[in-house]
Amino acid sequence: MVNLVAGMKDLKLWGQTVGLIKRLLVSMAAGLVLFWAMGFGVADVAFAAAAPSQQSLDIVQVHLGNQAGGLVFEPDTLTFEARKRYKLLLDNPSPVKHYFTAKDFTDVIWTQKVEAGKVEVKGAIHELELKPGAVAEWVFIPQKPGTYELHCSIAGHGETGMVGQLSIFAGA
């Protein structure tokens, strides 16, 4: 799918989104078996069509824990607009490791990449573990409006308040 996105960008087809979607639908109908054989779900193809990689990027920062060792997400409530592109900056300023676990949320976003250090990870991601001092960037486009839970899956952390709420609202 990354190659597909890059290819579309190269061909400067993003300005013709409607035509592109029509063509995608036609090619999906004609070549559904091929898409599946290549490992692309129909949903992934649709997400790619809605994900122009040069679209503007809203930056949102979330700290996992704090320097005092608090078991919290700061902030713990985030709101996203469907079909906008976001860069979620995660860091862990605390002395212990934490998880950013939000399975239902990650099921309804299209992840462009997760970048940590010099590594970029492509494709679906369900949770990230950040060791003390770690930073990661998660670039994605929310798709389905709703309210989804966030927690840290380290034993005892979610139970003592390391939880949050991720909301997606329908855009214009």
Site residues (CB under 5 A) for Cu ion? 98, 152, 154, 157, 162
Whole-number minimum distance, CB 74 to Cu ion, in Å? 12
* Pick 20 or 154: Cβ nearer Cu ion: 154
The closest alpha carbon to 125, from 89, 101, 91, belongs to 101
* Pick 105 or 110: Cβ nearer Cu ion: 105
Return the ∠ at Cα 100 (arms to 94 and 103), rounded to 5°: 170
* Pick 85 or 98: Cβ nearer Cu ion: 98
Whole-number minimum distance, CB 157 to Cu ion, in Å? 3
- How deeply is 81 buried, as exposed, middle or buried, from its count of CB atoms within 10 A (0-12, 13-18, 19+)? middle
Whole-number minimum distance, CB 162 to Cu ion, in Å? 5
Whole-number minimum distance, CB 132 to Cu ion, in Å? 11
DSSP single-letter state for residue 158: T
Taking the CA atoms of the chain, what radius of gyration do you get in angstroms? Answer: 18
* Pick 4 or 125: Cβ nearer Cu ion: 125
